Amino acid sequence: MINKKEFSKIAKRIFHAKSSLQNPRIMNPSREWGIGLLIGFAFFIATAGWSAQTYLSNKNVGDITSDSSQDEVIVYRASMVEAALKAYEQRNQKHQQLLNKTYVAPPVIEEIVEEDTVDETSTSSENAEAVLPEQSLEVNAEEVSGAEEEPSEPTEPVEVAPDVLLSE
């Protein structure tokens, strides 16, 4: 029969017995150094790559270039303006021609004086609309306009000779 003391001894032997193969607790300095350096080098390479990528992406950010696409398009249709001005210039010329069409060059003063006296007695009837050489505008203007006597001086847009004559 096993005593209590013998039983406890056996138990201690069982639990406190070391295995035959023990874990190696040997440090290999070169191996440990190699692993550490490898990790450090990899970390360095990764950081360098990220820095290079950041630099290359932001290298041209500070360059201020005149991008034409950002410019506001200013449209001035010069050809349209020129065409409009030309059209109105022609219109103005035609206007002047129409006004001048009714005018005749002023004759010699003596003839005008003689013809004025003749015209003052003539009526304004268009039946007497014979082609007379020259007549003064002032006389006929008085006959035609009647009470509405407008000054015969030309206004700014109409260039009229000072002495204008009306041809019939």
Partner 1 sequence: MSKSTKNIVLISIIIFVASAVSLGVMAYQVKEQGNQLSSHVATLQAESAQVESYNKLKKISEETTEDRDLLQSYFLEKESNSIDFLNLVESLAPQAGVQLDTEGLDVLETGENGAKWIEVSFVFSASRERVQNFIKVLETLPYVLRLTSVEMDGMSASEWEARVTMQVQILDYDK
Binder to partner 1 among 7, 41, 44, 50 (CB under 8 A)? 50
Asked if residues 166 and 137 have their Cβ atoms less than 8 Å apart, the reply is yes
Q: Is residue 70 a contact residue for partner 1 (CB under 8 A)?
A: yes
Binder to partner 1 among 28, 79, 121, 125 (CB under 8 A)? 125
Asked if residues 130 and 111 have their Cβ atoms less than 8 Å apart, the reply is no
Q: Is residue 86 a contact residue for partner 1 (CB under 8 A)?
A: no
User: Cβ closer to partner 1: 8 or 102?
Assistant: 102
| Whole-number Cα distances in Å, 16 to 10, 24, 54 | 10, 19, 61
Rounded to whole angstroms, how far apart are CA atoms 112 and 25? Answer: 143
* Cα 106-109-114 angle, rounded to 5 deg: 105
User: Cβ closer to partner 1: 4 or 101?
Assistant: 101
Output the smallest distance, CB 36 to partner 1, in A.
10
Q: Is residue 29 a contact residue for partner 1 (CB under 8 A)?
A: no
Site for partner 1 in 94-123 (CB under 8 A): 94-95, 98-99, 101-103
Backbone angles phi, psi at 104, to 5 degrees: -125, 150
Q: Is residue 67 a contact residue for partner 1 (CB under 8 A)?
A: yes
Q: Which of 141, 150, 100 is nearest to 119 (CA)?
A: 141
Rounded to whole angstroms, how far apart are CA atoms 11 and 3? Answer: 12
Output the smallest distance, CB 3 to partner 1, in A.
43
Backbone angles phi, psi at 113, to 5 degrees: -65, -45
Kindly list the residues in this chain that would bind partner 1 in the complex (CB under 8 A): 47, 50, 54, 58, 61-67, 70-72, 74, 76, 78, 81-82, 84-85, 88, 91-92, 94-95, 98-99, 101-103, 125-127, 129, 137, 140-141, 144-146, 148-155, 157-158, 160, 164, 166, 168
